[in-house]
């Protein structure tokens, strides 16, 4: 086996790409990360090459690479899994999937989803007025459902009634009895009614970070008492036939299949009992929650799931069928609102490393002279003489010398040059001690902590708060890896820092099959060659939840499609938010900013500090700054902008 091949094998193991990549991502024989948009080997694209081409078109990093064909493949996988499950157990009801708008409401994404989903009668789920308003602009398949969850007021209800008049199969899912009363009033006023759904509050709970979305204490849904009250209201209003859907959702990213099954059994019974009370229920909406295996471990760990799509579909279909048979009711149309599992894979965030920060300096350049302070000489001695037997003792000695030297500096007895030597030496002591600790075969907590603080810090050109907000807010893990050079040996262990002015903007937990990794295996970037890092499986929720902390906005994006016959790619650029757009969203008017500039510059001119032509130059630059990309420019050196 060649050295390169061996390194690539190591890379696949280190990064677990075959486990979380769901056959969409891999590593080429040249050591580059690739995408397989159709989920198989027939077509493979080099991610770094796509990014380099984008940079040539002035579409700079950070950027999202969006692969509509990956999305299409996932939509196919979801529908096929349910179709196979239905055929496997002779299920007589139908299956309809709807995509929850909130999971990724970017127009480019929904456009691709709607067109790929047409053949499957794929519908949409919305939870707010703006989501419904946007969803109504799509000409969905005539059999597709439009499910309206969330809390509603009269204008939301009016919009849903308009949707029915527009020919949509709209279902207004009721979250509370008051809401139902508004709907009944509205129906009486206009003389027709939309399909109505009831969201059940199940006892069954999900598992993982979103478990609180289910269970008796959850924020959503109707308790059994409220459910009975709602049924009575509907009956009295003569709308029993309009009760079409029973809905539940026990949380996103359900990590255990057992929880899925428990909820299904409970909901199946509720469904059957309501049907037997002579209501026209036909849909059983099982919500979302299908887990994404972010770490590839296939376990019930919070970043994974101990089942796959097919197992999920099999269990759901089999349980509904069984419950309906035992209750003697017709099997419903099963509605899935799975979002994360459909959207996660299709987007990759790519950025470039700007700097690698390391502690200390070059110890070989260091000279300790007779004139240097005694403690500095002692530190040098500890460094030179450290070995596998004395490393703990010598490390402790070094700590003492370092503290002494810093106290001396603070009291004015040392120069900056000596302080610098102390830093270099102490860092070398730490590195040596860590090496001996790693060879010792025992784990000493003190050195484990020391190792964490000694990781290289890779400063990457992006904002965690904008691009992967869940990793900050709920410590969600995503696969992260460099896009190139996996045919080489890794030479550094590092963490990733973003460019926000916030110490939370640091990624120091990474997916691993057996645990959570505290660092990534990385390379030393070559001068003047971009070192790209990719963040994978970020297509669900991240774009929707990203915020403008530090006034960083939506990133550039490239939509990549490939012709399966020729392998030819089409790359469509979508510009990210510029400075002007972000400021406008914060209520700054362009003119207000410019007049603020003008007023101050005029005063500086009047006071004689500024020439008229300098003033005009500054104003010109200010005017064009509205179009600036807020992230770091490709060239790191200061450019003089005309
Ligand atoms: C009502 C409802 N349906 C569907 C979903 C989508 O869930 P997921 O993305 O986990 O499939 C959610 C998200 O939590 C939800 O609240």
Question: Quick one: 106 and 52 in the same domain?
Answer: no
Q: Does one domain contain both 265 and 120?
A: yes
Q: How far apart are CA 184 and CA 192, in angstroms?
A: 10
Structure tokens at 572: 């469509």
d(Cα 101, Cα 89) in Å, to the nearest integer? 31
- Mapped onto helix, strand or coil, the DSSP state of residue 159 is helix
pLDDT(609) > 80: yes
pLDDT tens, residue by residue, 28-54: 999 999 999 999 878 999 999 999 999
On whether both 295 and 214 belong to a single domain, the answer is yes
Q: Which of 87-91, 381-385, 435-439 has the lowest mean pLDDT?
A: 435-439
Residue 151 alpha carbon to ligand 1 centre in Å: 15
Task: Please check whether residue 514 is in contact with residue 297, taking contact to mean a CB–CB distance below 8 angstroms.
Answer: yes
Q: How confident is the model at residue 514 (pLDDT cuts 50, 70, 90)?
A: confident
Provide CB contacts within 8 A for 525, sequence distance 6+: 353, 356, 531
Of 323, 338, 353, which one is at a domain's C-terminal end? 338
- 71 domain residue, yes or no: no
- Residue 63 included in any domain: no
Which tens digit of pLDDT belongs to each residue from 475-498?
999 999 999 999 999 988 899 999
For ligand 1, say whether the CB of 255 is within 6 Å of any of its atoms: no
Give pLDDT tens digits for 184-197: 999 999 999 999 99
For the domain that residue 127 is a member of, what is the CATH number? 3.20.20.10
| 361 neighbors 422 (Cβ within 8 angstroms) | no
In a domain, 370, yes or no: yes
**pLDDT for residue 636:** 45
One domain for residues 325 and 425: no
Best residue among 200, 339, 543 to mutate for probing ligand 1's pocket (most ligand atoms within 8 Å of CB) is 339
Domain assignment present for 73: no
**400 is in which domain, residue-wise?**
363-453
How many domains does the chain contain in total?
Answer: 4
Structure tokens at 585: 């969203």
pLDDT for 548 beyond 70? yes
Residues 186 and 294 in one domain: yes
Average pLDDT over residues 95-104: 98
pTM (2 decimals)? 0.91
Q: Is 234 in the pocket of ligand 1 (CB under 6 A)?
A: no
> What number is the average pLDDT over the span 172-176?
94
Q: Are residues 97 and 240 in the same domain?
A: yes
Cα(415) to ligand 1 centroid in Å equals 61
| CA distances, 631 to each of 15, 93, 327, 448 (Å) | 28, 51, 60, 35
For residue 290, give the ligand 1 atom closest to its CA: 11
117 lines ligand 1 (CB under 6 A): no
CB contact at 8 A, 247 and 200: yes
339 lines ligand 1 (CB under 6 A): yes
* Residue 541 confidence (pLDDT) above 90: yes
Rounded to whole angstroms, how far apart are CA atoms 555 and 465?
12
Q: Find the helix packing angle between 107-117 and 68-88, rounded to 10°.
A: 40
24 and 163 in a single domain? The answer is no
Element (H, E) at 126: strand 123-126
Ligand 1 lined by 252 (C-beta under 6 Å)? yes
For residue 389, the domain's CATH number is 1.20.58.930
Say if residue 197 is in the same domain as residue 153: yes
Is there a contact between 588 and 626 (Cβ–Cβ < 8 Å)? no
Higher-confidence position of 375 and 358: 375
* Separation CA 530–CA 639 (nearest Å): 18
Report the interhelical angle of 154-165 vs 177-190 (nearest 10°): 50
- Of the residues 145, 285, 288, which should be mutated to test ligand 1's pocket, given the most ligand atoms within 8 Å of the CB? 288
Q: Is residue 263 part of a domain?
A: yes
Determine the Cα–Cα distance for residues 267 and 264; give it in Å rounded to an integer: 5
For 517-530, how does the pLDDT look when each residue is reduced to its tens digit (9 = 90+)? 999 999 989 988 99
User: Which residues lie closer than 8 Å to 251 by C-beta, 6 or more apart?
Assistant: 205, 206, 208, 210, 211, 212, 213, 214, 289
> Quick one: 237 and 302 in the same domain?
yes
Cβ of 103 less than 6 Å from ligand 1:
yes
| Listed residues 57, 83, 101: the one ending a domain | 57
Instruction: Write the pLDDT tens digit of every residue in 331-369.
Output: 999 999 999 999 999 999 999 999 998 778 888 888 999
Query: Minimum mean pLDDT among 23-27, 168-172, 416-420, 624-628: which range?
Result: 416-420
Is residue 426 domain-resident?
yes
Q: What is the pLDDT of residue 642?
A: 43
Whether 338 lines ligand 1, by a CB cut-off of 6 Å, is yes
pLDDT band at 1 (very low <50, low <70, confident <90, very high): low
Tell me, using a 6 A CB cutoff, whether residue 199 lines ligand 1. Answer: no
Residue 521: partners with Cβ closer than 8 Å, 6 or more residues away? 14, 15, 490, 492, 493
| pLDDT greater than 70 at residue 555 | yes
Does 384 share its domain with 432? Answer: yes
The pLDDT, as a whole number, for residue 357 is 83
Residue pair 486/3 in contact by the 8 Å Cβ criterion: no
Q: Is the pLDDT of residue 639 over 60?
A: no
The ligand 1 atom nearest the CA atom of 540: 9
Is the minimum distance from the CB of 253 to ligand 1 under 6 angstroms?
A: yes
Please report whether residue 490 resides in a domain.
no
Instruction: Give per-residue pLDDT as tens, 197-245.
Output: 999 999 887 666 666 666 666 767 899 999 999 999 999 999 999 999 9
Answer yes or no: do 125 and 20 share one domain: no
Residue 123 scores a pLDDT above 70 = yes
249 within ligand 1 shell (Cβ under 6 A): yes
pLDDT at 422 over 50: yes
Chain centroid to Cα 246, Å, comes to 30
Say if residues 601 and 610 touch (Cβ distance below 8 Å). Answer: yes
Lowest mean pLDDT among 136-145, 206-215, 581-590: 206-215
In 455-512, alpha helices (H): 464-467, 469-473
> Ligand 1: distance of its center to the CA of 23 in Å?
24
Q: What are phi and psi of 570, to 5 degrees?
A: -115, 125
What are the residues whose beta carbons fall under 8 Å from the beta carbon of 416, sequence distance 6 or more? none
Residues 151 and 36 in one domain: no
- Is residue 226, in this structure, part of any structural domain at all? yes
149 lines ligand 1 (CB under 6 A): yes
**Mean pLDDT of the chain, nearest integer:** 94
Nearest CA to ligand 1 atom 7: 288
* pLDDT at site 41: 79
């Amino acid at each position: 086996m060649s050295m390169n091949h061996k390194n690539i094998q190591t890379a696949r193991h280190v990064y677990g790409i075959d486990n979380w990549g769901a056959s969409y991502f891999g590593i080429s024989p040249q050591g580059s990360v690739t995408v397989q948009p159709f989920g198989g080997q027939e077509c493979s694209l080099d991610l770094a090459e796509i990014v380099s081409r984008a940079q040539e078109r002035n579409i700079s990093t950070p950027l999202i690479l969006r692969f509509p064909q990956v999305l299409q493949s996932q939509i196919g996988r979801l529908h096929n899994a349910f179709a196979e499950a239905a055929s496997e157990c002779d299920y007589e009801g139908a299956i309809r999937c709807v995509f929850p708008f909130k999971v990724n409401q970017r127009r480019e994404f929904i456009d691709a989803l709607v067109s790929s989903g047409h053949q499957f009668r794929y519908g949409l789920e919305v939870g707010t007025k703006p989501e419904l308003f946007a969803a109504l602009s799509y000409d969905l398949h005539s059999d597709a459902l439009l499910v309206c969850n969330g809390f509603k007021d009269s204008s939301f209800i009016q919009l849903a009634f308009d949707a029915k008049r527009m020919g949509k199969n709209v279902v207004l899912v009721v979250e509370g009895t008051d809401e139902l009363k508004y709907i009944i009033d509205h129906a009486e006023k206009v003389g027709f009614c939309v399909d109505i759904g009831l969201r059940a509050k199940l006892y069954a709970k999900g598992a993982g970070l979103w478990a609180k979305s289910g269970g008796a204490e959850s924020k959503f849904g109707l308790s059994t008492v409220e459910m009975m009250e709602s049924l009575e209201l509907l009956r009295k209003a003569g709308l029993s036939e309009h009760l079409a859907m029973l809905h539940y959702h026990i949380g996103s990213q359900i990590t255990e299949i057992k929880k899925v099954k428990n909820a299904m059994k409970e909901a199946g019974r509720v469904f059957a009992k309501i049907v037997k009370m002579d209501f026209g229920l036909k849909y059983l909406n099982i919500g979302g929650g299908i887990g994404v295996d972010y770490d590839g471990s296939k376990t019930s760990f919070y970043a994974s799931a101990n089942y796959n799509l097919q197992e999920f579909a099999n269990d759901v279909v089999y349980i509904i069928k069984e419950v309906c048979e035992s209750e003697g009711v017709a099997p419903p149309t099963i509605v899935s609102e799975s979002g994360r599992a459909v959207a996660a894979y299709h987007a990759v965030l790519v950025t470039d490393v700007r700097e690698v920060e390391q502690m200390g300096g070059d110890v070989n350049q260091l000279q300790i002279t007779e004139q240097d302070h005694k403690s500095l000489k002692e530190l040098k001695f500890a460094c030179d003489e450290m070995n596998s037997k004395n490393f703990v003792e010598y490390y402790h000695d070094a700590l003492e010398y370092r503290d002494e030297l810093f106290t001396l500096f603070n009291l004015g007895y040392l120069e900056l040059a000596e302080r610098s030597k102390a830093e270099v030496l102490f860092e070398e002591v730490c590195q040596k001690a860590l090496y001996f600790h790693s060879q010792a075969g025992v784990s000493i907590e003190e050195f484990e902590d020391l190792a964490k603080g000694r990781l290289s810090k890779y400063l990457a050109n992006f904002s965690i708060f904008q691009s992967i907000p869940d990793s900050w807010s709920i410590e969600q893990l995503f696969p992260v890896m460099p896009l190139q050079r996996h045919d080489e040996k890794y030479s550094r262990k590092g963490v990733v820092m973003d460019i926000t002015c916030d110490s939370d903007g640091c990624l120091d937990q990474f997916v691993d099959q057996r645990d959570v990794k505290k660092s990534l295996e990385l390379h030393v970037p070559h001068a003047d060659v971009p070192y790209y890092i990719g963040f994978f499986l970020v297509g669900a929720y991240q774009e929707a939840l990203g915020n403008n902390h530090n006034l960083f906005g939506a990133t550039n994006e490239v939509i990549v499609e490939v012709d399966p016959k020729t392998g030819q790619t089409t790359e469509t650029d979508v510009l990210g938010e510029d400075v002007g757009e972000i400021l406008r969203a914060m209520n700054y008017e362009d003119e207000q900013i410019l007049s603020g500039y003008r007023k101050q510059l005029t005063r500086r001119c009047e006071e004689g500090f500024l020439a008229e032509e300098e003033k005009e130059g500054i104003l010109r630059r200010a005017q064009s700054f509205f179009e600036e990309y807020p992230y770091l420019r490709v060239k790191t050196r200061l450019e003089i902008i005309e």
